[in-house]
Amino acid sequence: MELTVYGPLRGVTGSKTTSLPAVNAKQSLRDILDRFVEAYPRPEVHLFDEDGTLKGSVRILVNSERGSR
């Protein structure tokens, strides 16, 4: 799957898009973000609040589609 990242996440990945292998077609956005953090640990502070909820300012496209919380 292809992820398009914006803002500070782009500095972490080094490009606007990055690829992660798809695990299954029905994975949740949280599953995808958890896998993204496994591949790129530094952006976790940009993605999640201290309580683990997704920050409202996060913009990531998965296969060119906007995800929802």
> What digits encode the pLDDT tens for the residues 14-65?
899 999 887 777 888 888 888 898 998 888 888 889 998 888 888 888 888 7
Residue bearing tokens 């999640």 = 48
Domain that holds residue 11: 2-66
CB-CB contact of 60 with 8 (8 Å): no
Residue 59, domain CATH: 3.10.20.30
Please give the pLDDT value at position 69. Answer: 47
- For the chain, what is the domain count? 1
Q: What is the pTM of this model?
A: 0.77
